[in-house]
Amino acid sequence: MAFQNILDLGNDKAIQIDIQGSRLAPESTQVGSKPQALREPKHVSRFSSIPSMRPEERSIMSIQVKNNSELWAALTETLNKMDNTDVQFQEGQKRVLGNHYQYGKNCHFLCALFQLESKENDNEHVLDFRRLAGNGFTMDNFYQNVRSECSKKGLMDANEMESDDDEDGFEFSDDESTDNQNLFFLTPNAYLQLSFDPEVVTSWVKKISPEANSFVEETDHVLGLMAYNVENEENLKIIAETGGHELIEALKHKLQSKKDAFTDAAIVRNSSVIVRIFANNNLLDVSDTKLIESIVWAMKDWSPESRKGKWMSLNVSKETVSSLADALWCLYENGADENYIKQLLAGAPPSMSTFLKPTHTNLENAQKFRQHFL
């Protein structure tokens, strides 16, 4: 059986997944050097299909949930609405592949619903989370966000709620807060102070240019830094002025990245965020037809029902589609050719509008774009 190792899982046992996406045994259950396939998943009457999991296979990052028929629908709704998150559902297997983005970093995750195998109780269900790649702190943030939403919606099992109550929280005191802007830049996850060295932007642009042939991880890292720091007004001005035409050309190229790894979704998503913030601040040329073509191409390509990549890669991106719709609406309002935009949108997947509904995005301009153009 052809398979690939999924490494970098923090404290969790490494798992393996074959090219069709079937879970194989953790390393601790392998015989010799050959992975042993897990048993066929059981079927539970109240769900269409739920794989089984031994208690010892349960990840540290997991949530014990109630057994009810609305669970999967509620989880789907929660993840679709979550900001800074791209998800790809596999309904039949009750699992979700996705990326979560935070402070310029990202993680690639697998979340799945399982029934625990137990002699005492065969009605226990868990949401199990695996970090496939990326930043561990970002993964923890995603896990805690999902856990909080499950608690608010009453999806967590009573035993799981009690364990949360037993944990001691930590809060800063009022004496530790500060209004000093200079001290803010020293806090964790603060924006960079690019004013101290604007030329670092020139270095970034060179690394993401098509001619650079940089490693995909380096490109992902640089675009993450830029996408996060353009949120700061002072940094936005420096990045726009220093990056100039070369930055816009590099972004056009990145918007048409391939779909072969989780980093490709992150690269296109972060490029889209930069384009959106530039557009909202009137920093894009409305007559740049190549830019508009790249925007529409990426919107089509990362919509549901677009061309598909490998199973373990992320093939759809709500973050990309909604950010670019927001940017395109700004360009249209500032004078971009409406007929040309409509011409480019011809043949767009009908499901593109799904990512632009209030159930999926909080970007008002993206919703205006859907109402006007789709």
- Per-residue pLDDT reduced to its tens digit, 194-204: 999 999 999 99
- Report whether pLDDT(71) > 50: yes
The vertex-302 CA angle with 24 and 271, nearest 5°, equals 105
d(CA 63, CA 156): 7
Fold (topology level) of 180-373: Leucine-rich Repeat Variant (1.25.10)
CB 84 within 8 A of CB 319: yes
pTM for this predicted structure = 0.81
Identify the band that residue 50 occupies on the pLDDT scale cut at 50, 70 and 90. Answer: confident
Q: Which two tokens stand for residue 215?
A: 């490693």
So where are the chain's domains?
A: 3-156, 180-373
CB 360 within 8 A of CB 354: yes
CB 237 within 8 A of CB 113: no
Name the nearest CA neighbour of 301 among 337, 334, 271. Answer: 271
Instruction: Please list, in sequence order, all residues whose beta carbon lies within 8 angstroms of the beta carbon of residue 74, skipping any fewer than 6 positions away.
Output: 153, 155
Question: Among 97-106, 147-156, 240-249, which is the least confidently predicted range?
Answer: 147-156
pLDDT at 243: 96
Q: SS3 string of 131-176?
A: EEEECHHHHHHHHHHHHHHHHHCCCECHHHHHHHHHCCCCCCCHHH
**Strand blocks (E) in 205-301:** none
CB 86 within 8 A of CB 318: yes
Q: How far is CA 214 from CA 146, 208, 264, 357, in A?
A: 34, 7, 13, 36
Residue 37: beta bridge partners?
A: 24
CB 114 within 8 A of CB 103: no
- Per-residue pLDDT reduced to its tens digit, 124-140: 889 999 999 999 999 99
Q: Which two tokens stand for residue 58?
A: 């349960």
Q: Give the CATH superfamily of 3-156.
A: Kinase associated domain 1, KA1 (3.30.310.80)
Question: Among 43-47, 48-52, 59-63, 232-236, which is the least confidently predicted range?
Answer: 43-47
- Cα-Cα-Cα-Cα torsion 284, 286, 290, 291, nearest 10 degrees, comes to 40
Residue 340's Cβ-side half-sphere holds a number of Cα atoms within 13 Å equal to 15
End-to-end C-alpha distance for the chain, whole angstroms: 44
User: Which DSSP string corresponds to 54-101?
Assistant: -GGG--SSEEEE---TTHHHHHHHHHHH-TTEEEEEETTTTEEEEEEE
